[in-house]
Homo-oligomer: A and B are copies of this chain.
Amino acid sequence: MDLRDKIIHESLRLFSLKGYLNTSIDDILEHANSSKGGLYNHFRSKDELFVAVLSEARKIWRRKVLGGLDRIDDPVVKVKTLLENYADRYLKDAENIPGGCVFVTLSVELDDQRQDFAREIGDGFYRFLAMIKRFLDEAKASGRLNQEADTDAVSRMLFAGMLGASVLYGIDKSGDTLDKCIASLTAYLDGLTVLPRPQDDATKKK
């Protein structure tokens, strides 16, 4: 891993722990075993570093949360897998984001201080929300979901639940609270499901 990647990696870790504004350049350099010259040789400013870190964070998020999702047919199982991946493969990834979901940390920190950055993160939230709704609409169209279900309301609920779980996970890193939150969300989705098909149970089990 070259210095540029090392700096991005350590910055992502620190941003997830302490946020953007509270992470100092010296702090990053100490963890990356580098110096001012080394950093400013690759990035023109701390803001430019932020952009690179956010891009890397998104790449990791996609790999962890969406990876393998296209091999699943049933849209309800897709959403459930999304929830599980988010908790087990993404949130608990202490190597990359030891401080929990970096998007939550950064959006809460920056929403009233750096609206440009916050909007960038918020856009990602809304794209993800739309993706969940799309899966639910598919499920409804194929009769997998209760026809009375309001997919807009349900997707919003699931997403808000994921954000809330992330906040709680930040405080109580035990993982137990997180698992219970995700289990509650999955149970909620189950309650809206009709006609469970065999591959559903097959995918669900450990």
Name A's B-contacting residues (CB within 8 A). 17-19, 21-22, 98-100, 104-105, 107-109, 111-113, 118-119, 121-122, 125, 150, 152-154, 156-157, 159-165, 167-168, 170-172, 180-181, 183-185, 187-188, 191
Contacts and interface: CB of A to CB of B under 8 A. Distances in A.
Nearest to A152: B180
- Give this chain's copy count: 2
Contacts of A157: 161, 181, 184-185, 188
A170 B17 contact: no
Nearest to A107: B171
A17 B122 contact: no
SS class, residues of chain A in contact with chain B:
helix
A188 B18 CA distance: 35
Nearest to A180: B156
A51 to B, nearest CB: 18
Nearest to A118: B171
A104 B168 CA distance: 10
Given A164-B162, A185-B157, A107 B180 contact: no
A160 B153 CA distance: 15
A22 B109 contact: yes
Which of A161, A168, A191 has the most CB atoms of chain B within a 10 A radius of its CB? A161
